[in-house]
Each structure stands twice: as C-alpha cells, then as structure tokens.
Structure 1
C-alpha cells in the first residue's frame, strides 16, 4: 500500500459518520474507573502500612541488638604480674 492509497483510505474513514456509542458506556467507564481508583488507594495504603511496620521492626531490632556496638572479646588477655 503506497502513500496515496493510505491517504485515500484515511480520508474515507474521516468522512464516515462516527459509530453509535451505547448510552450506558459512560456509566460503565465511570464505575470501572472508580473501582480501579479505590483498589489503587487500598494498595497504596497497604504498602505504606507495610513500610511503616518494616521500619518499626527494624528500629526495634536495632535497639535490642545494637549492631553498632563492638561485641565483647571472647578471649581474655593473659594475666601476668600478679
């Protein structure tokens, strides 16, 4: 198909009357969009809750284990000079 054929086909499509849209299409689209938005908001809240719970768990772990403190030595130096 060359360029002239494509242009002619597009012109024919543009000259045709638009197809009839079902009257309840808008209502269905609005309902589906609202449902999708509610699900996204619920997922967003769940992820934020999960992030907060993970942060609290990490802080509690860090405060109990204190990984920044050097562990005590397991061997003792020899006692001389007593």
Structure 2
C-alpha cells in the first residue's frame, strides 16, 4: 500500500465514521464570545486613537512652546569696541 492509498483509506474511514456530537448551546457561546471579542477590539481601537490624538496634541503644544525650528540665542555677547 503506497502513501496515496493510505491517505485515501484514512479519509474514507473518517467519512464513514459518525459525526461528532455538537453541544446544543454552541451557537449561543460562539455569539457571546464573538461579541466579547468585538467589544474588546473596539475598546482597544478607541484607546489607541485617543493615545495617538493625545500624543499629537502634546507634540503641537511642545513645538509651539519650544520652537525647535528657531536658532538658539548665542551664549555670549560680542565684545563692545569703540565706546
């Protein structure tokens, strides 16, 4: 018996066997689990967008106060000559 025939035999035995028993409340449990997962995903997405918006606002506030695009003032003053 070659490999293909063994696989075919295994599939044939699986098809002839009876179907497994399915719990009666399987649908209700699946719906409840799906609802929980969807609610959790929605909450995580909202938290993510809130944190992203807060980071953007914090960056804008920091940039408006620190003005990193401006050249910093010189640390020393030039010498005064001719007074």
The answer to whether residue 39 in structure 2 is matched with residue 38 in structure 1 is yes
Q: Deviations over 1:29-66 (max 9, x none)?
A: 11001001000000000010000011111100110110
Query: Which consecutive residues of structure 2, in runs of 5 or more, have no partner in the other structure?
Result: none
TM-score (norm 1): 0.90
TM-score (norm 2): 0.89
Alignment of 1:63-82 (within 5 A): 63-82=64-83
| Aligned equivalents of 2:76, 2:23: Cα separation in 1 | 83
Paired residues in the alignment total 82
| Aligned equivalents of 1:55, 1:40: Cα separation in 2 | 22
Runs of 4+ in 1 over 6 A off after TM superposition: none
Query: Which consecutive residues of structure 1, in runs of 5 or more, have no partner in the other structure?
Result: none
**Partner residue in 1 for 2:58:** 57
Please, what is the CA RMSD of the aligned residues?
1.4
